[in-house]
Amino acid sequence: MIRRAIPRGRGLLALLAVFPGGSVAPAAAEDVLAAIAASADDVKQTILVGPSGQVFEPDGAGTWTRRTEGGVAADVRGAVVAGTGLVVAGKSAPLYRRDGDRWTAMRLGERGRTAIGTGPRAALAIGKLVFVWSGSTWKRVGRAPGTVTALWAASETKVFAATDGGLLRLAGGAFSPLGAGTPAVVGFGGVTAWAVTADGAAFEVATRRIHRPTVGGQAIVVGLVTATTDSAWALGTTDAGPALARFHKGAWTEAVAPPIASGDAPISITADRSGALLVVTRAGGVHVAGPDGRWDAGTRVDALPAVPAGPGPARGR
């Protein structure tokens, strides 16, 4: 068993790959993690997934262990648990499902760009078509007017989708624009619907209110959001570096940001019912904060089977 220290100093500083001042961040030297399958009950039960389907399983106490290699022929961009299986998506179909230690291609009879949803209910999109997990199978719930780029679902009828044409909601089995003046959205997060706008603000979908939280007197360029039933968090950057703010009882307050290394980039933030937070970075950083807001480092462990000894591969003459 190899116990690996959390790598530091690799990746991108922010989701949009732009440093304060407008310079573009360098490409990551190595992406260790690419997505999470979040747990709303306990952030320490969240599954971590690497770019080729490497799975780090939680023990519920702050350690995540990888026992098998990857096995997905796609750069993972999203993950979700549906039933007993872990599902991941790359840029386009097919998606992949993992049962036990085996990955298999998961085909729903469609082709196109794929997106994994966030929210209380597992959801995914392939091209313009949106599917929601019904408890036993993937149910097609609607067709968007454009390719879906981000998705949030709480049920088979409460679904929001983002396309290049704007933010949509599912109503009567069809997707329609949320309303005039709705901002362009690049991602969702939380068990209540919050989104990140294209210009780096937080968008409260239920009230259609755009929020621009500040830390140290500076507006945060928001890259990720998450929410419980009574609070929301916005993670991003200011000129001073990573920044985090919490929205509770109608007001924003500054919160302690996770210790993300310079050059690294957060790929996800999630909260559980207790208000504990989990932030995961591309370079493999795992940061856990309890409801008191104090951050601790999670541990990733490689426990891959030993490679059997034997002769090298045959060579032709």
Q: What are the structural domain ranges in the chain?
A: 2-13+30-302
Rounded Cα gap, residues 289 and 99, in angstroms:
30
What pLDDT sits at residue 307? 65
Rounded Cα gap, residues 128 and 111, in angstroms:
10
pLDDT values of the chain reduced to their tens digit, one per residue, 317 residues: 333 333 333 232 334 333 233 323 334 458 999 999 999 999 999 999 999 999 999 999 999 999 998 889 889 999 999 998 999 999 999 999 998 889 999 989 889 999 999 999 999 999 999 999 999 999 999 999 999 999 999 999 999 999 999 999 999 999 999 988 899 999 999 999 999 999 999 999 999 999 999 999 999 999 999 999 999 999 999 999 999 999 999 999 999 999 999 999 999 999 999 999 999 999 999 999 999 999 999 999 999 987 666 555 444 44
What pLDDT sits at residue 181? 85
- The domain made up of 2-13+30-302 is a member of CATH 3.40.1280.10: no
Which residues fall within 8 angstroms of residue 229, CB to CB, at 6 or more apart?
191, 192, 273
**123 vs 49, 97, 200, CA distance in Å?**
18, 14, 24
Q: Is 43 helix (H, G, I), strand (E, B) or coil?
A: helix
299-302 and 63-66 beta bridge pairing:
parallel
Q: Is 273 helix (H, G, I), strand (E, B) or coil?
A: coil
What pLDDT sits at residue 109? 86
Closest CA to 117 of 145, 136, 141, 98: 141
